[in-house]
Chain A
């Protein structure tokens, strides 16, 4: 599955619909949906909010992998920004010291089976796998 996405949060609806159709078409365990939806949203939103130097569409790709799925998001004509090198979140800190910043990428790192980052010719590509373990 390949889907070109405008740099708008309203595209989240399109992502959810396309992911549901992809899971149904390939018979993938729907129990994996929430993790895939979460990781895809967090990485897409991260690109939209942080890679503001481009207006190009973001490419979402999804393919079956074993009993699960591999998802990639590619952002074009952007500076290097590696989401796998996020600041750690102190989940034991009291509420007064907690901030929402960095929570999304932290959650993705905890919930997917694997996550990689590639940067080449000003293209930033995040890939993650779910349902491999």
Chain B
């Protein structure tokens, strides 16, 4: 499944498909526009690599004074990646 990024009806940024080194720039372009506390819906995200983690970290640090990012719909596999990288301690994560 190809990567896509958009906003859903509630204003959350929705990531779908594979967020890898080839698609990270597209994700960053959209997340650079986010303001305030940013909810990121990962329900349809199948895969993330360190390039995607870097995008999340940069966005979180930029928005930290406003609450940072909050991740929802996180699959068990991607939750493992967050656990191994310590990202589960950086921002709130809600399972799928």
State the total of A-B contacts with C-beta under 8 angstroms. Answer: 67
Interface size class on chain A is: 20 to 34
Query: In the complex the two chains form, what is the Cα distance from A103 to B21 in whole Å?
Result: 13
Residues of B within 8 A of A92 (CB): 86, 89
8 Å CB contacts to B: which residues of A62-121?
A: 89-96, 98-100, 103-104, 106-107, 110-111
Q: Is B85 close to A, CB under 8 A? A: yes
- Contact partner of A103 among B54, B58, B64, CB < 8 A? B54
Q: Is B44 close to A, CB under 8 A? A: no
- Which label, helix, strand, loop or mixed, suits the secondary structure of the A interface? helix
Residues of B within 8 A of A90 (CB): 86
Q: Are B47 and A37 in contact (CB under 8 A)?
A: yes
Q: Is A41 close to B, CB under 8 A? A: yes
Query: In the complex the two chains form, what is the Cα distance from A128 to B77 in whole Å?
Result: 20
Binding site for A on B (CB under 8 A): 18, 20-22, 47, 49-51, 53-54, 57-58, 60-61, 64, 68, 77, 81, 84-86, 89-91
22 intermolecular pairs with C-beta atoms under 8 Å apart: A9-B21, A12-B21, A38-B49, A41-B20, A42-B49, A42-B50, A45-B51, A91-B85, A92-B89, A95-B57, A95-B68, A96-B64, A98-B61, A98-B90, A99-B57, A100-B50, A100-B54, A100-B57, A100-B58, A103-B85, A104-B49, A111-B84
